[in-house]
Amino acid sequence: MASAPPTKTSYSALQIGLHWATALLIAANYFISDGMGEALDAHLAGDPVVGLTPVWHVWAGSVLLVLVIARLAVRFLTGAPQTPGRKTLAERAADVGHWVLYGLMLATPALGALTWFGKLDSTGDLHVLVMNALMITILGHAAMAIFHHYVLKDRLLAKMIPLR
Ligand code: HEM
Ligand code: HEM
C-alpha cells in the first residue's frame, strides 16, 4: 500500500529567497515608476527611451515577472507548510489570501510587460489598477503576518524570516 506523502513543515530556502526577492522588486518598482505614463507615450511614438526610471521599471519588472513564474512553479511542485489535521476557517482564509497575492503579483508585471512590449496603450490603465489592488493586498498580508507574530505570538514570521 502506498504511504501518504510526508507533510512539509517549513518553506525551503529557495521559497524564502524568492519571497523576499519578489517583495523587494515589487516595492522598488512601486517607488521607481514616476513618469512611466510619459515614457510609454514616447515609446509608443517611437522615440528613444531616456532616463533611469523607464529602464529600471521595464527591466527590473521583467526580471520580477520571471521570478514570480519561478516562485509559482516551485510552489506547485513543492507545496507549502501544512499544519496537521483539518484546516481552520482562518487557515483557509489565509490560503485564499495567498492565492490572491500570487494572482495579483503575476498579473501586475504581466500587464506592464504587455503594455510596454506589445505597445498597447489600452492595457496601461489596467496595469496601474491591478497594481493598486496588489498594494492593498500586500498591506493586509504584512499586517496579518505582524499581528500573528506579535499579538497572537504564534511565531508566524519565523516561517519566512530565519529567526532563532
Ligand atoms: C511585496 C510584498 C509581499 C508579497 C507579494 C508576499 C507574498 C506572499 C505569498 C504569496 C505568500 C504565500 C506563500 C505560499 O504559501 O506559497 C507569503 C507568505 C508569507 N509572507 Fe509574504 N509577501 C510580501 C511581504 C511580506 C512581508 C512584509 C512580511 C512580513 C511582515 C511577509 C510575511 C510572510 C509570512 C510570515 C508568510 C508565511 C505565511 C504562512 O505560511 O502562513 N510577507 N507571502
Ligand atoms: C509589480 C511590479 C510593478 C509595479 C509595482 C509597477 C508599478 C507601476 C506604477 C506605480 C505605475 C504608475 C506610474 C505613474 O503613472 O507615475 C506604473 C506604470 C507603468 N508600468 Fe509598471 N509596475 C510594475 C511592473 C511593470 C512591468 C514589468 C512593466 C513592463 C515590462 C511595467 C510597465 C509600466 C508602464 C508601461 C506604465 C505606464 C502605464 C500608463 O501610464 O498607461 N510595469 N507601474
Per residue of the chain (164 residues), what is the pLDDT tens digit?
Answer: 444 455 677 899 999 999 999 999 999 999 999 999 999 999 999 999 889 999 999 999 999 999 999 999 999 999 999 888 899 999 999 999 999 999 999 999 999 999 999 999 999 999 999 999 999 999 999 999 999 999 999 999 999 997 66
Tell me if 142 CB under 6 Å of ligand 1.
yes
Which atom of ligand 2 approaches the CA of 40 most closely? 35
Best CA proximity match to 65, nearest among 31, 114, 99, 118? 114
Which ligand is nearest the CA of 162, by number?
A: 1
Residue 1's pLDDT is what?
Answer: 44
In this structure, is residue 164 part of a structural domain? no
Which atom of ligand 2 approaches the CA of 27 most closely? 5
In this structure, is residue 28 part of a structural domain? yes
Contact 156, 148 (CB under 8 A): yes
Which CATH number does the domain housing residue 102 bear? 1.20.950
- Residues of the domain holding 81: 13-159
- How far is it, in rounded angstroms, from Cα 11 to Cα 115? 34
Residue 35's pLDDT is what?
Answer: 96
- How far is it, in rounded angstroms, from Cα 7 to Cα 98? 19
Tell me if 49 CB under 6 Å of ligand 1.
no
